Chains A and B, each alone.
Chain A
Amino acid sequence: MSTDLIIAVIITVVGASTPILIAALGELVVERAGVLNLGVEGMMLVGAITAFVIVFVTGNHYLAILMAAAAGVATSLIFGFLTLSLSANQTATGLALTIFGTGLSALAGQGYSAKPVTLLGPLFPGLAADPFWRVLFGYSALVYFALFMVVAIWYFLKRTRAGLILRAVGENDLSAHSIGYSVIGVRYMAVMFGGAMAGIAGACFPLLLTPQWAERMTAGRGWIAVALVVFASWRPFRLLAGAYLFGLVMTMELYAKAGGGPLSAIPSELWAALPYLATVVVLVLISIRRDASTNAPACLGKPFLPSN
């Protein structure tokens, strides 16, 4: 592999990983607060169509990202109201949210499928033109946003008081409640944050990957994001590694096949299975460590019902 090709592969890997990373970071915070939202795929699709329509109408990519985040928040509030205020089953509600988001985005996208838009350009156009430095500086703002959020979420959860409260709500809701924190309030904030991140992850599809709208264009990546949170055992930096690993495997498959070299002899089915094999291996490695704990928030998925 020549240097040029390696750089080209890295750039494609980063692009493919970014939406998964952003969506998974949002879900990580939601789950740390003790809420399991399986509606990531649906919220991403709502974000994707919103971003597409805004960029099609106004041509402003940053406004499109903001509105996609807002649309993600709005969608997540449906989930929040049902599961937090009404204590509905989180698994069922999350699944319903994905189905709802898929249908809503398809409805809103009627008539937009034959319309082209433009991608969000690189943040540093000068360096992006350099054949070597583009590997570090050739990306659009969405990529740097994802990386910044990894650090920001790590810092928030580990080093701030608000992060500690959020973790307390996720680990032991009754204790947090008994010392005066609003469990429902904290969880609403977390769910809305997850919605905003899923919306932005959706916006990556028309703005970063392929400048068009197609129904179901996220094609299951929201589910990969949900799985990655477990894979990363609820830790932001592991999530970063996991998202890039998934992106690498997904992309290497295509490069190997398109290159026609020795790697192209590997059957597609094995490539498709690789990320999941990696998941199994990581889960085994985590569980054979001495301080064996999956790190899962203790209250994950349980509705909060204070006995007054």
Chain B
Amino acid sequence: MTITRRNILKVGAAAAALPLLGTKAFAQTEPLKVGFMLIGTVNDNGWNFGHATGAKYMKDQLGDAVAEPTVVENVPEGPDCERVLRELAQSGHKLIFAASFGYGDYVIKVAQQFPDVKFEHATGYQRSDNVATYNARFHEGRAVCGTIAGHLSKTGKAGYIGSFPIPEVVMGINAFTLAARKVNPDFTMTPVYISTWNDPAKEADTARAMIDQGIDVIAQHTDGPAALQVAEERGIVGGFGQGADMSAFAPNAQLTSIIDNWGPHYVEAAQAVIDGSWTSGDRWPGLKEGEVQIGPYGPKVTDEVKAAAEAIKQGQIDGTFNIFTGPINDHTGAERVPAGVTLTDAELLSMDWYVEGVNPPA
């Protein structure tokens, strides 16, 4: 090649392009950094434990394609979570999971400032180009629990320890009650909101207050096994594990448990970001996809009840049964959903009313 001005330009252009090629190649092999922001500790044996297990599963499945996941625990639902989100985004995390309802507004806000970072908000409803929402159809599991409660409860009275009256919790209460009343039409449900996700002593006292007033089945939407332990101690019919199998705490009282299995979703989302195919949207799988699982049945669940529970579970897996198909009355007895009509996802996600049989809390 003769040294002409044109050739020098060509070589120069190629040389200038080399680093670009380099970065591109490097970007593809650099492991994806994935961040997880949790409301509590990963040792809660429930909700947060489930997400941390999912994060680990993602790393195991995708291997070197993802970096060791960053899990930030105990992030309150307030301005502090905005700071954590921003730090995660600034430190190179390209996919961030925010695993609590109250993070919503902050996720949207931070996501606007980091358009190249993908955010996924669990149990939320606000989306944008780079903010998706994801959830699991826990209410499908609640319907299975409610069926068992309807069969086994002697007093026909159940209690439900909830954290806050958000649609996610209301949906669970309603699914449980509807299923129990299909078995026992006189079944009633009393929800108690305790305004916290993690105060085991208060959960235990709530369970005591319920049992002392004739409730013999307790379901919970808080994160720990405290209520189940009281159920075991008092020898009532029982309760249900939330988020994970809690039979170690209540071998007799745990009738079954709803197990969160977030792993497959985390693998899918991380793979989509790596492939560049990630899009915003709302993902809401349930029993069918295995994201919600029913744990082993306790010793008090007879074969007959087990069969009834399995039938409800199977019906939801193959799509022949939906707990939110009418006719459904609200707690005042007025018809809310006509026969044959099924509530849409949007209606479920904004659910702020209780079905018949629920003593509505103040």
Contacts and interface: CB of A to CB of B under 8 A. Distances in A.
Nearest to A255: B209
Residues of B in contact with A, size category = 35 or more
Given A254-B206, A267-B362, 8 more contacts: A114-B248, A116-B248, A205-B200, A210-B204, A217-B199, A254-B202, A255-B212, A255-B213
B41 to A, nearest CB: 4
Interface in A244-268: 250-251, 254-255, 257-260, 264-268
Interface stretch (A4-12, A174-182, A278-286): A4-12
A264 B224 contact: no
Interface stretch (A74-82, A103-111, A132-140): A103-111
A219 B213 contact: no
A12 B226 contact: no
A205 B188 CA distance: 32
B210 to A, nearest CB: 4
Interface residues of A, number: 42
Which among A115, A205, A258 has the greatest number of chain B C-beta atoms within 10 A? A258
B201 A217 contact: yes
B201 A119 contact: no
Interface string B194-215: 1110111111111011101101
Given A114-B45, A116-B248, A258 B209 contact: yes
Interface string B229-241: 1100100000000
A266 B40 contact: no
B204 A258 contact: no
A27 B205 CA distance: 25
Contact of B190 (A113, A115, A260, A268): A260
Contacts of B359: 260, 264
A255 B248 CA distance: 28
A272 interface: yes
Contact of A106 (B41, B192, B203, B215): B41
B90 interface: no
Contacts of B201: 16, 205, 209-210, 217-219, 221
B114 to A, nearest CB: 30
B361 interface: yes
B332 interface: no
Contact of A209 (B159, B196, B204, B213): B204
Contacts of A251: 205, 209
CB-CB nearest 8 A-B residue pairs: A113-B43, A8-B212, A219-B199, A260-B359, A254-B209, A210-B204, A258-B209, A209-B201
Contacts of A272: 195
Contacts of A5: 212-213
Contacts of A106: 41
Nearest to A9: B212
A79 B202 CA distance: 29
B361 to A, nearest CB: 6
A8 B208 contact: yes
A214 interface: yes
A240 to B, nearest CB: 20
A122 interface: no
Contact of A268 (B43, B195, B203, B226): B195
A258 B209 CA distance: 6
Nearest to A218: B201
Given A258-B159, A258-B213, A268-B193, A214 B205 contact: no
A171 interface: no
Contacts of B215: 258
B263 interface: no
B229 A16 contact: no
Given A210-B200, A210-B204, A211-B229, A264 B209 contact: no
Contacts of B45: 113-114
